[in-house]
Structure 1
Amino acid sequence: MNILRHIYRFWLVELVLLFCVGFQVVSGLGLVIRKGFVRQPFYVVIQVLSGLYLSFFMIYHVQAVLRGRFQWKMNTDFYFAAGVANHYPEKLFFIPYYTLSLVAVFAHIAAVHYIKRMEQQPEEPLQRRYKNETLAICIAGGVVTFLIMIAFTGVLYKI
C-alpha cells in the first residue's frame, strides 16, 4: 500500500482522481435531474438512490480525507477511517455511513448490470438469468461489505 501511496498522492495523479470523483458526482446528478426516477422500474430507482448516496459519500469522504491530510496533518490511512468506526459515539454514525456506501456500490453495479443486460437482449427467457446474475452481485456485495466492516470495527484484529 505504501508503494501505491507514492503514486496516487503525486499531485498530478491526485488532481486527476479528484476530477474523476467530481465528474462522477456532477454527471450522476445531471442524469438524475434529466431522467428522473419517478414512475421508473424498481431497478432504475435502486440505481438512482444508490448513485445519490454514493455522491453524498464521495463528497464528504474526499472532504474528510483532504481535511485530515492538509488541515489536521494526520496520516489518512486505514486507521484514519477505522478510528471513527471504533469510538463511541462516532461509530453510531460512521458504521452505517461506511456500510451503506459499500452496499450502495454493489447495488449500483447490480442495477447497471441488469439494465445493460436487458438492453442487449430483452427476451423473456433470459430475464430470469439476468435477475440471478444481479442477485449474485448483491450477495457478493453483502459478503464483501461484511468482511470489510468486521475488519474496520476491529473484530478481526485490534485497531
Structure 2
Amino acid sequence: MNTFRKLVLWLMLSAGAFLFFAMGINICDIISTKIFKVSIPGTIDFTEECMVFLTMLPLAFVALEKKHIKFSILEEQFSPKVKKLMKLIQYVLSLGISGFVCVRTFYNFLQSVKVMEMKRGVDLPIWPATFIVFFSFLILTLVWGVLLVESLEDKDGT
C-alpha cells in the first residue's frame, strides 16, 4: 500500500513538473516574441499537451488524500452510521463511474495508437495524451477501490 501511495504522490509531483515546463515554454515564447519578433512554433500545442498531464495526473492524489469537494453542511446533520453509508455509496458510485471512464479511455487510447492520430499544428502524436488520460483514470479507479475497502474495514464509522 505504501508503494501505491508513493506512486500517486509521484504522479501529482510530475504534474507540477509539467506545469513548470508549460510555464517555461510560454515565458520563452513571450521573450522570443518581444525581443526577436519571432514566436516559437508550436507553443500553444505543447502547452495544451501539458495541460492534459497537469489536470489528469493529480486526480488520484486528490481522491486518496480525501481532498475532493465534500458537502459538509449536509453531512454533519446525520448520525455516524448514515455518514458511513453515504461514504460507501459515494465510493461505489465513484468506482463505477471512474471504471467506466477508464474502459472508454482505454479504447480511445488503442484507437489513437492504431491510426497514429496526430495533433494539428505541430505534428504531435495524440497517443501520449490519451494514454495519460487512461492511466490517470486507471489509478483513480484503484484509489476509489482502496478507499471503499478501507471504509468497509472501518468499524467505528468514521
Q: So what's the TM-score if we normalise by structure 1? A: 0.37
**Relative contact order higher in (CA < 8 Å, ≥ 6 apart):** 2
Q: So what's the TM-score if we normalise by structure 2? A: 0.37
Higher Rg:
2
